[in-house]
C-alpha cells in the first residue's frame, strides 16, 4: 500500500530528463543538478560508471536517461539499488554490475551519490532529491 502515493508523486514531478537521449550519453550532455550530493554523484558517475551506463550495449547496463530501462529498477527502491551497486549484482540475463563499478576506492556514500545522480537523470528526480536531502542532513 505504500507504493501508490510514491507513484503519484513521481508522475506529477518533472523529470530531470523528459526523454532518453540518443547515442552515447556522457556526463557533459546532462544538466547539472542543483543539490550538492547529486552534483558530486555526477562526478563519480563520469569517472566510474559512464563507460557502461552511458549506453554501452555490450555490457547490458541500463542506460542513463532511459526511462524504460530505469523505471522498473527505480521501483525496487533506493536501498536495493544502493545495495546492488555497492556489493555488485548479476541480473536475470546474467549481465553483471561489478561491485562499486569496479572502483574499490569509492566509499559507500560515493557509490550512493552516483546511483542517485543516475536515478535523477533517468526519471527518478523526486526519489533522488529526497535521498540527497537526507544526505545533507547527515553532513550537518
Ligand atoms: C563494467 C560495466 C559497469 C560499470 C562500470 C558500472 N555498472 Fe552499474 N550495471 C552494469 C550492468 C551490466 C547492470 C545491469 C545488471 C542487470 O540487471 O542485469 C548494472 C546495473 C546497475 C544498477 C541497477 C541495479 C538494479 O538493481 O537494477 C545500478 C544502481 C548501477 N548499476 C549503478 C552503478 C554505479 C553507481 C556505477 C559507478 C560507480 C556503475 N553502476 C558502474 C554494469 C556496470
The domain that holds 41 is classified in CATH as 1.10.760.10
For residues 116-137, average pLDDT: 94
The pTM score is: 0.90
Q: How many Cβ atoms are within 10 Å of 84's Cβ, its own excluded?
A: 17
Rounded to the nearest 10 degrees, how much is the dihedral formed by the CA atoms of 24, 29, 34, 39?
50
Tell me: pLDDT of 4 over 60: no
Task: Kindly report the number of other CB atoms within 10 A of residue 93's CB atom.
Answer: 7
Residues of the domain holding 112: 3-139
pLDDT at 17: 79
> Which residues have any ligand 1 atom within 6 Å of their CB?
48-49, 51-53, 59-62, 73, 76, 80-81, 84-85, 89, 91, 93, 95-98, 100-102, 111, 114-115
CB 46 within 8 A of CB 27: yes
Q: For residue 123, how far is its CA from the centre of ligand 1 (angstroms)?
A: 16
Provide the number of structural domains found in the chain. 1
Q: What is the pLDDT of residue 139?
A: 67
Distance between terminal CA atoms of the chain? 33
Backbone angles phi, psi at 90, to 5 degrees: -115, 125
CA 56 to ligand 1 centroid distance, Å: 11
Amino acid at each position: 500500500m505504500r507504493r501508490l502515493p510514491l507513484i503519484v508523486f513521481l508522475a506529477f514531478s518533472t523529470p530531470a530528463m523528459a526523454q532518453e537521449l540518443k547515442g552515447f550519453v556522457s556526463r557533459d550532455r546532462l544538466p547539472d543538478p542543483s543539490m550538492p550530493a547529486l552534483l558530486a554523484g555526477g562526478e563519480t558517475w563520469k569517472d566510474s560508471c559512464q563507460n557502461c551506463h552511458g549506453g554501452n550495449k555490450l555490457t547490458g547496463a541500463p542506460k542513463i536517461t532511459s526511462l524504460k530501462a530505469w523505471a522498473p529498477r527505480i521501483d525496487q527502491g533506493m536501498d536495493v539499488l544502493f545495495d546492488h551497486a555497492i556489493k555488485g549484482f548479476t541480473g536475470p540475463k546474467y549481465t553483471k554490475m561489478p561491485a562499486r563499478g569496479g572502483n574499490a576506492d569509492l566509499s559507500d556514500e560515493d557509490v550512493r551519490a552516483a546511483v542517485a545522480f543516475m536515478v535523477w537523470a533517468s526519471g527518478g528526480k523526486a526519489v533522488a532529491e529526497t535521498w540527497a536531502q537526507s544526505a545533507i542532513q547527515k553532513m550537518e
